[in-house]
Amino acid sequence: MRGLRTALANREVRQTYLQLLVALYITTVVLAGVLVTTLWVLTPIAPELTWAWTVFYWVLRIAGSLILAFASPLLALFTVNLVFPLLGERVFFAGMRVLDPARAAALEQREGMPLVRSLWMTVARMILFLGGTLLALAVTLIPLVGALLGPALSLFFTARAMTWELLDPVFDKRRMYLSAQREYIKQRQPALVGFGLPFSLLLSIPLVGPLFFGLAQAAVATLYVEVLELGGEPELAGDAPAIEPA
């Protein structure tokens, strides 16, 4: 909530947010429509099916639609970050400048990783997230508990992956490659999931949810400054070198 208030109160955040919003909104709506429609087409309910198979298909449709509703906004964020890699960065640093202008300037002035490497990081994160989403879809096939456990598992993966992706500007400037990012996420997973859970639910609301994407990108700066790196980045203090790939 503090992150949202910070984002909404800042003029620079609002202006930059609008640019990110248009790209994310269109991409999210299209992805959600295509994925959910595809799921229903692939699970036809014919009149000759037994009641057990009919129930199974309906459970798969409903649980699968929930999972895709959680996944679509994040898949849209991955897509937009690939096509417009600097949009999210501008929103993030606009939010961070409200909290700590000097620190934001020092981090923003650092040279990020090469463009190709940065794009590959986005692709790698998307592949990891898709793996988790497929696992959640598979879990929905478990009798009785699958319809509840699958969407819950999908929500967990989405919350973690969403915060991870929103922090991409930081990982880029600190030159943290995939292995370093995974270790960073593992050490701070409760905070990342806790931040991402309400946003994952909010963003999954059809048509309305994607409107909050830019605010989430700005709000994550509060999580980063006040929770994840409360003492500041060691690289900026000169205590440690930038984290290069293994």
Q: How far is CA 23 from CA 7, 16, 26, 27, 167, in A?
A: 19, 12, 6, 6, 19
The whole-angstrom separation of Cα 16 and Cα 88 is 9
Q: How many separate helices (H) and strands (E) can be counted in the chain?
A: 12, 0
**Within a domain: residue 62?**
yes
Query: Between 23 and 167, where is the model more confident?
Result: 167
Q: Is residue 237 part of a domain?
A: no
Q: Is the pLDDT of residue 245 over 50?
A: no
Q: Is residue 239 part of a domain?
A: no
Residue pLDDT, tens place only, 154-208: 889 989 998 998 999 999 999 898 999 999 999 999 999 999 998 888 877 777 7
Half-sphere exposure of 58 (CA within 13 A, CB side): 8
- Supply the range of the domain harboring residue 169: 2-231
- The rounded percent of the chain whose pLDDT value lies above 90 is 13
Residue 12 included in any domain = yes
User: Taken in order 230, 222, 73, 58, is the CA torsion positive or negative?
Assistant: positive
| Residue 238 maps to a domain | no
Given a cut of 70, whether residue 7 has pLDDT beyond it is: no
pLDDT tens track for 54-109 = 887 788 888 888 777 777 777 877 787 777 767 778 888 888 888 888 888 988 88
Report if residue 161 sits inside a domain: yes
Q: How far apart are CA 197 and CA 220, in angstroms?
A: 13
Region 107-119 average pLDDT = 86
Instruction: Decide if pLDDT at 243 tops 50.
Output: no
Domain count, the chain: 1
Contact 61, 43 (CB under 8 A): yes
Q: Residue 160's pLDDT is what? A: 93
Taking the C-alpha atoms of residue 89 and residue 186, their distance in angstroms, rounded to an integer, is 23
Contact 107, 89 (CB under 8 A): no
Residue 113's CB is within 10 A of a number of other CB atoms, namely 20
